Amino acid sequence: MAVCARLCGVGPARGCRRRGAAREQRRGGAGDSEPDTDTDPEEAGGGGGGGDEEEEEEAAAERIEGGRPASHPAEAGPAGRAPLSLLELPPELLVQIFGSLPGTDLPSLARVCTTFRRILRTDTIWRRRCREEYGVCENLRKLEITGVSCRDVYAKLLHRYRHILGLWQPDIGPYGGLLNVVVDGLFIIGWMYLPPHDPHVDDPMRFKPLFRIHLMERKCATVECMYGHKGPHNGHIQIVKKDEFSTKCNQTDHHRMSGGRQEEFRTWLREEWGRTLEDIFHEHMQELILMKFIYTSQYDNCLTYRRIYLPPSSPDDLIKPGLFKGTYGSHGLEIVMLSFHGKKAKGTKITGDPNIPAGQQTVEIDLAHPLQLPDVENLRDFSELSRIVLEVQEQVRREEQEQEHRQEEEEAASQPAAKPLGGEGAEGEETAAGAEGTTQDKAPASQPFVLPMGVISRNEDYPRTCRICFYGTGLIAGHGFTSPERTPGVFVLFDDDRFGFIWLELKSFSLYSRIKVSFQNAEAPSREAFDEMLKNIQSLAT
């Protein structure tokens, strides 16, 4: 504030300002320095002034918006002297300066004096902030028809709901989900992303709108529920805290269909699975589908959402981390987040099922233990693959026991724990990275791959060559997440966008394909924030 005051010539940096104030008054009142206490972006540029003086300022603002230079009493200092105050600059230049500042700083600027406040009424400033901060590229001049200004759009829509932009996971029991809230033209829309129909894992994601927010009049933004098939209707959004918000539909009768629950179920089945119940012959699969419909439809789009971040990447990562679609047997396709943590890689469920709910770590890959697969003929033999994997599992178990034994010895010897453990951990990660790098250097660019006999795959169109394989474990459990346990398996990297996992105990194969969508406002502010987010969604699932 003091800096702004000094710049405009009303602060203590230039000593007494009575002479300056008198000079500005002689120039037509351009130096009016009434302070303003409003700090809300919604009010920046509003109020202050009146009469002929205000009309003159409004006319100047209109000329500025039209791209024509506007004469102003304070656009230059005395002859031969450069302007000593921002107030002596032409108003069109002030518009350019103010427009380059973050919108959240403009309310403070409006408090400096009523002249600045009048300048901040210029819609050109707010049109630029809408475009640069939120990517609104629509022709905002069309808003004049509805009487809504760009400042209204910024303050009452974009700034007010900025905390809900990004990726979110809805709390729908074990099923979870993936919601992406974006600015779309003059709307904020919440899109629910759905995997493609089973088992077409390489197909693009599907999406449908759950809610939208828009500004049709100056009073406030309107929230509409988009659930159902009767068009938008009245809804409500409550921002609980920065990383959590909830939605509520105020007209759930719009979700009902004339044919009753049977028609609603058939419609949901076509959208969710791309088929009818008669096309699904597997009885257990029918039960799972019906269970999901009954469970999810009871929410009626009244949901709580928690923020999720995309995993941070590193040049040393095996592939780029991110979101993938994966096959999970009778449960269909689910969304998994692949992230790297030193010598480990983790696959966390964003969507889930009654056995392994959303938020749980479905697979863990040990990057320190690559696997050398046999040739194609021997790979067809399931027992041969099992033998290789179980040998590595025993090796991992011994290494973990040795590690625990060393730690116990160090504690018994009363040595400082931080140094040895830190050094050892660093060496372990270097060794893992070294082992991984060596393996990849020695391994061919690609090697033949085929699933062993007896291993079931929902998608037979899997790649027939792979880059490298690693030992890993997969999480399995009974219905209701009962008796969960981690069982050995094989992580198979096919290319930058596809990988697979062989579940030895289930004799099953899951194929994963990258979700190729550019999500905005989804980057984690730090590695610690991402790890905390993973911990939170797993604790909620448990």
**How many whole angstroms separate alpha carbon 215 and alpha carbon 218?**
7
- Structural tokens at position 404: 């625990």
179 plus 295 within the same structural domain:
yes
Q: What is the pLDDT of residues 147-159, one digit of tens each?
A: 788 888 899 999 9
Pick the residue with more confidence: 443 or 136? 136
Same domain for 382 and 279, yes or no, is no
Could you tell me the maximum CA-CA distance found in the chain, to the nearest angstrom?
96
| Residue 174: alpha-carbon gap to chain centroid | 20
Q: What sign results for the dihedral spanned by CA atoms 30, 31, 36, 39?
A: positive
Give me the mean pLDDT over the 339-351 stretch.
96
Q: Is residue 207 in a domain?
A: yes
Domain boundary among 281, 304, 327: 304
Phi, psi of 147 (to 5 degrees): 80, 15
Q: Tell me, yes or no, whether 187 and 275 share the same domain.
A: yes
Decide if 217 is inside a domain: yes
User: What total number of domains does the chain contain?
Assistant: 2
Q: Is the pLDDT of residue 66 over 70?
A: no
| 386 and 329, same domain (yes or no) | yes
Whole-prediction pTM value?
0.79
For residue 339, what is the enclosing H or E element?
strand 333-341
Please report, as a single letter, which amino acid is at residue 131.
Answer: R
325 domain-assigned = yes
Residue 218 covered by a domain: yes
Residue 379 confidence (pLDDT) above 70 = yes
Residue span of the structural domain in which 290 resides = 166-304
pLDDT in tens, 68-98: 344 444 444 555 566 667 888 888 898 999 9
| Whether pLDDT at 535 is above 60 | yes
Distance, CA of 295 to chain centre: 26
Give the Cα separation of 437 and 365 in Å (integer).
15
The answer to whether residues 299 and 324 belong to one domain is: no
Provide the mean pLDDT of the chain.
81
Question: What confidence category does residue 235 fall into, taking pLDDT thresholds of 50, 70 and 90?
Answer: very high
pLDDT tens track for 121-130: 888 899 899 9
| Statement to judge: residues 201 and 285 lie in one domain | yes
pLDDT above 60: residue 61: no
pLDDT of residue 40: 66
Q: ∠232-234-238 over CA atoms, to 5°?
A: 115
Residue 438 lies in a domain: no
Q: What is the pLDDT of residue 81?
A: 62
- If pLDDT is split at 50, 70 and 90, which confidence band does 35 have? very low
Where does a domain end: 304, 333, 365? 304
Report the run of H or E that residue 166 belongs to, with start and end. Answer: strand 166-170
Q: Tell whether 271 and 330 lie within a shared domain.
A: no
Asked whether residue 335 carries a pLDDT value surpassing 70, the answer given is yes
Q: Kindly state whether residues 364 and 505 are assigned to the same domain.
A: yes
In a domain, 98, yes or no: no
425 pLDDT higher than 50: no
Q: What is the mean pLDDT of residues 273-279?
A: 81
Check whether residue 267 and residue 327 sit in a common domain.
Answer: no
pLDDT: is 47 or 479 the higher one?
479
Tokens encoding 490: 């094989």
CATH of the domain at 392: 2.40.128
Q: Return the pLDDT at 477.
A: 96
Q: What is the DSSP letter of 157?
A: I
